[in-house]
Amino acid sequence: RRTINVALVGNPNCGKTSLFNIASGSHEHVGNYSGVTVDAKEGYFNFQGYHFRIVDLPGTYSLSAYSPEEMYVRHHIINETPDIVINVVDSSNLERNLYLTTQLIDMNVRMVMALNMYDELEASGNTLDYMKLSELFGVPMVPTVSRTGKGIEDLFHVVISIYEGADFLDQKGKVRTEVLNDLREWHREYVPGYTGGAHKEEEVRHHGFYRHIHINHGPELERSIEEVKRVISENEDIRHKYSTRFLAIKLLENDPDLETLIKTLPNGKEIIDVRDQESRRIRDVLNEDCDQAITDAKYGFISGALKETFVDNHLDKEHTT
Ligand code: GDP
Ligand code: MG
Ligand code: K
């Protein structure tokens, strides 16, 4: 029996603990482990022939170094290396929730999104083309209601298929033919939007597997990110442990924790120099501080994606801002 390590990551109050309780069941859940100021709960369960270890992480809006919760979640992802992150979001509050998602994408984690509180989205009369949103973010998304358990099985089927997708890719990154048929069955049954039937590897991959996308921060920031990434990437150990893109973005945001780490590297000074140079350049060309520019770019990406996929049917009545 293989173990899949799963971590729940999301804003406060989006339903992580409810999802955790439903998935692990009260009888199977085991202890706590704690950091200095925050706790994470860990549980176990079996599903579809797999053993799951699931961790309910503290709620966070971001993965910066500004609060103990953020640091805890970030360290968990980097050091415990969960096989799959379940990014739990409150579907009735997408704009704010998706900000964290953009940072998880920067971290290059394999993930699936639980579009939780989907009942509230439906009750609101607003509509979301989540298949399209899923494509734009390059992250599989599954509507869930963790208060009742609706969608949770689907969610874990997708977790399994992402997990297997990684294991069953050959060296060229193609799905091995011997597992393709099994995967097709799963997808036909469980993956929203998968039309099935077609013997197209592309389609299976598209709907079930983790895809690489980058949040595009615009040409100037992307240039700076590439520059910083280039000097960071000279360090082989760092390259293995971290997403160099995440490190570059965080350095450009003046993240104190990661700056400390970078300064311990043989070429740490060079990296910080390049970062400083790029920060100044950004301030000159974009007329704002680099960290603010990055935040704006992320929200720009989110609002662009929501414009294409989300219809607010109460816009006239309720939105005054
Ligand atoms: P956490 O802070 O992310 O762990 O969120 P909780 O699991 O504690 O949930 C916060 C509140 O939202 C609780 O009152 C839950 O009962 C409620 N809740 C959780 N999931 C859902 C859902 O899918 N739909 C609705 N309507 N409420 C939910
Ligand atoms: Mg909780
Ligand atoms: K890497």
Pocket probe for ligand 1: among 13, 29, 38, 73, the residue whose CB has the most ligand atoms within 8 Å is 13
| Mean of all residue pLDDT scores within the chain | 85
CB 142 within 8 A of CB 115: yes
User: What average pLDDT does this structure show over 3-20?
Assistant: 96
**What is the pLDDT, as a whole number, of residue 28?**
47
Candidates 73, 106, 78; CA nearest to 253 is 106
pLDDT in tens, 78-127: 999 999 999 999 999 999 999 999 999 999 888 999 999 999 999 999 99
Note if the pTM is more than 0.90: no
Residue 238, class by beta-carbon neighbours within 10 Å (0-12 exposed, 13-18 middle, 19+ buried)? middle
Question: Nearest C-alpha to atom 26 of ligand 1 is from which residue?
Answer: 117
Question: Nearest C-alpha to atom 22 of ligand 1 is from which residue?
Answer: 117
Q: Answer whether residue 253 shows pLDDT above 80.
A: yes
What contacts 188, CB < 8 A, 6 or more positions away? 194, 196, 197
Q: Which atom of ligand 1 is nearest to the CA of 56?
A: 4
User: What average pLDDT does this structure show over 60-75?
Assistant: 92
29-43, 80-94, 242-256, 299-313: segment of lowest average pLDDT? 29-43
Q: Answer whether residue 171 shows pLDDT above 50.
A: yes
Going from the Cα of 16 to the center of ligand 2, the distance in angstroms, rounded, reads: 5
String of b and e for 265-293 (b: at least 16 CB within 10 Å)? beebeebbebbeebbeebeeebeeebbeb
Sheet strand arrangement including 50-56: 29-34, 39-47, 50-56, 2-10, 84-90, 111-116, 141-143
Candidates 117, 87, 70, 79; CA nearest to 7 is 87
Going from the Cα of 13 to the center of ligand 2, the distance in angstroms, rounded, reads: 7
Going from the Cα of 231 to the center of ligand 3, the distance in angstroms, rounded, reads: 13
Q: Which residues line ligand 1 (CB under 6 A)?
A: 10, 12-18, 59, 116-117, 119-120, 145-147
**What is the pLDDT, as a whole number, of residue 198?**
42
Going from the Cα of 132 to the center of ligand 3, the distance in angstroms, rounded, reads: 28
pLDDT in tens, 275-298: 999 999 999 999 999 999 999 999
ipTM over 0.95: yes
DSSP conformation letters of 207-257: HHS---------HHHHHHHHHHHHHHTT-HHHHHHS-HHHHHHHHHTT-HH
Give the chain's end-to-end CA distance (angstroms, integer). Answer: 53
Q: What does the alpha-carbon distance between residue 112 and residue 163 come to, in Å, rounded to a whole number? A: 10
Say whether 165 counts as a known binding-site residue. Answer: no
Say whether 9 counts as a known binding-site residue. Answer: no
Q: Which atom of ligand 1 is nearest to the CA of 14?
A: 3
Helix axes 16-28, 152-167, angle to 10 degrees: 90
Residue 282 token pair: 């950004």
Going from the Cα of 59 to the center of ligand 2, the distance in angstroms, rounded, reads: 7
Q: What does the alpha-carbon distance between residue 250 and residue 247 come to, in Å, rounded to a whole number? A: 5
**What is the pLDDT, as a whole number, of residue 292?**
97
**What is the pLDDT, as a whole number, of residue 158?**
85
**Residues less than 5 Å from ion ligand 2, measured at CB:** 16-17
**What is the pLDDT, as a whole number, of residue 71?**
92
Q: Answer whether residue 43 shows pLDDT above 50.
A: yes
Query: If pLDDT is split at 50, 70 and 90, which confidence band does 26 have?
Result: low
Question: Nearest C-alpha to atom 19 of ligand 1 is from which residue?
Answer: 15
Say whether 143 counts as a known binding-site residue. Answer: no
Say whether 116 counts as a known binding-site residue. Answer: yes
**What is the pLDDT, as a whole number, of residue 206?**
47
Query: If pLDDT is split at 50, 70 and 90, which confidence band does 210 have?
Result: very low
Q: What does the alpha-carbon distance between residue 60 and residue 83 come to, in Å, rounded to a whole number? A: 20
- Quick count: other Cβ atoms within 10 Å of Cβ 60? 23
Which one is predicted more confidently, 58 or 166? Answer: 58
The two most distant CA atoms of the chain are separated, in Å, by 58
Say whether 11 counts as a known binding-site residue. Answer: yes
Ligand closest to Cα of 238 equals 3
